[in-house]
Structure 1
Amino acid sequence: MTAETTHEPLTYGNTLRELATDQGVLRYHEAGEGPPLLLLHGSGPGVTGLRNFRGNLPVFAARFRCLILEFPGFGVSDPTDQHPMMAASGAVTRFLDGLGLDRVDVIGNSMGGIVGAQAALAHPDRVRRLVTIGGIGRGIFSPAPGEGIRLLMEFTEHPTRERLVQWLHSMVYDPSLVTEELIEERWRQATDPDTLASARRMYGKAAFAAAASAAAASDAPPYWATLHRLKARTLITWGRDDRVSPVDMALLPMRTIPDVEVHIFPDCGHWVMVEQKHAWESAVLAFLTRADDA
């Protein structure tokens, strides 16, 4: 019986779980009962799955068995020797296998949306519905990388509190959301030596340049060029005022994913589930609970 069914408050301690795998321990948070709902976090300094979704967890746990996976390389689950993006994709498969889950719905924030889409492409029978929050696709009109990604690279190269605050402000439309408490918890996690080293594998300037060169030289298509193969019914959600992944990125997946809907929220930056919490939760719940033949 979970904290939700016993009406206990959902806390870090009573939702935290561990799953031993052949590549180390995956940690996750679990709450609620019902159909399984996998929540995948984004990247960035001091991120964790629980921090991404803790405000939404009570609402979704009332209808679903919520599983917030902590990706390797972000300071919670055991790290691997892989690039964090590659480790995340493998972690999803190991996680579903380890819990014996044949089919799930997925909510992915930013990087988590990309990982969710990759999982749905690789295992179309395992993802029923997919919800993404920003991040997915590629820029059409806006310069790349976006402002938030550039600030993230600057922080990763030279981590200071000032650079962290600048990055956090790029994530939101409403600057009052960047509180001292948020800054402090992000700073502690982001400056952990192992977490910082992992972040530099993703967002250090040399790593970013190397990844771009490798992508240009590869014969394999980027994930966004394969979205037309996606079988899962998909809801793309986005903040109109996103300065990390500008909203024009949604145009390509909107046109290529076969069964897709798009919901754009006003006065909202990259953290749609935070800044437009109630409207976003309402739209996502309606999408996830709609009959399959509707």
Structure 2
Amino acid sequence: MLKELATEQGVLRYHDVGAGPPLLLLHGSGPGVTGWRNYEGNLPSLSRHFRCLVLEFPGFGVSDPTDQHPMLAAPASVIRFLDGLGLDRVDVVGNSMGGIVATQLAISHPDLVRSLVTIGGMGKNIFSPFPGEGINLLIEFTEEPTRERLIQWLRSMVWNQDLVTEQLVEDRWAQATEPETLEFSRRMYGRAAMEARAAAAAASDAPPYWAMLHKIKARTLITWGRDDRVSPVDMALLPMRTIPEAEVHVFPNCGHWVMIEQKEAWEATVLAFLTRGDR
């Protein structure tokens, strides 16, 4: 059941499943995404060991939106969420954008994040071009949202094309084309927004988050799909070398949605990491 937490910047909605140490799960971006769609298949396994808290970020059609860019709103929403629940130390799993948000929190609030697990997305392209194929398809959908463009983007997310079902397309289409959600998507992935963000980053004196990875104190597990067409696996090289307590697990025959496409293997790897004795 979807729960609600009232905050000074609107209602945050979340799922709360299981009992035990708190495990915060942060979702990615893209058309029609929600935290529930990212992680519902993993909750039966993870919730046997943890209290799983799946937060819905503002701007994706579930929690109340804010006036901020969704990527800027996300870290602040996590702090409001944890404060509202009275939690001051958690393990965190983040997929794609959620992995970047979790990484930023591990840098800026080192005492908050005990263990960090990322799924693709986090890092910097070393050998591959940016944006990657999947990001370009996402931009094309955002600029001109058609069912065909949505299907093309969804197919770029997975190695196993059978996962792109009619039901998946229908579910994603309904939420992705909701007017307010589509407007927030354009703030993130419209061409003008992407160009403005690149220009702002080039003009800023502040270091990018990937240049601050050495500040992370949390034990970190970086998981990746070998065949990721959204965030190519070479992005893992920089965090692997610069995060002090980093481990990397690459899954074969797997695209961007590792927790879905290699569900059992990913769950076993993550649980072994989170529950072993050197926590």
The residue aligned with 1:263 is 249
Where do 4+ consecutive residues of structure 1 move more than 3 Å?
A: none
Q: Are 1:98 and 2:101 matched, yes or no?
A: no
Structure 1 residue 161: Cα displacement:
0.1
- Counterparts of 1:51 and 1:137, CA distance in 2: 24
Q: Are 1:278 and 2:264 matched, yes or no?
A: yes
Question: Residue 69 of structure 1: which of 35, 52, 55 is its match?
Answer: 55
Gaps in structure 2 of 5+ consecutive residues: none
SS of corresponding position for 1:97: helix
SS of corresponding position for 2:129: coil
- Counterparts of 1:174 and 1:232, CA distance in 2: 33
SS of corresponding position for 2:101: helix
The residue aligned with 1:9 is none
The residue aligned with 1:134 is 120
- Counterparts of 2:168 and 2:144, CA distance in 1: 20
Number of aligned residue pairs: give it: 279
- Counterparts of 1:220 and 1:198, CA distance in 2: 25
Q: Deviations over 1:160-191 (max 9, x none)?
A: 00000000000000100000000000000000
Q: Deviations over 1:3-24 (max 9, x none)?
A: xxxxxxxxxxx3x110000000
Structure 1 residue 129: Cα displacement:
0.1
Q: Are 1:247 and 2:247 matched, yes or no?
A: no
- Counterparts of 1:93 and 1:136, CA distance in 2: 20
The residue aligned with 1:42 is 28
Question: Residue 96 of structure 2: which of 85, 110, 115 is its match?
Answer: 110
The residue aligned with 1:10 is none
Q: Deviations over 1:168-226 (max 9, x none)?
A: 00000010000000000000000000000000000000000000000000000000000
The residue aligned with 1:11 is none
- The one-letter amino acid paired with 2:204 is S
Name the TM-score, length of structure 1 as normaliser. Answer: 0.94
Q: Deviations over 1:129-168 (max 9, x none)?
A: 0000000001000011000000000000000000000000
- Counterparts of 1:248 and 1:132, CA distance in 2: 15
The residue aligned with 1:143 is 129
Q: Are 1:226 and 2:212 matched, yes or no?
A: yes
Structure 1 residue 292: Cα displacement:
2.6
The residue aligned with 2:12 is 26
Structure 1 residue 35: Cα displacement:
0.1
The residue aligned with 1:291 is 277
Percent identical: 76
Name the TM-score, length of structure 2 as normaliser. Answer: 0.99
The residue aligned with 2:41 is 55
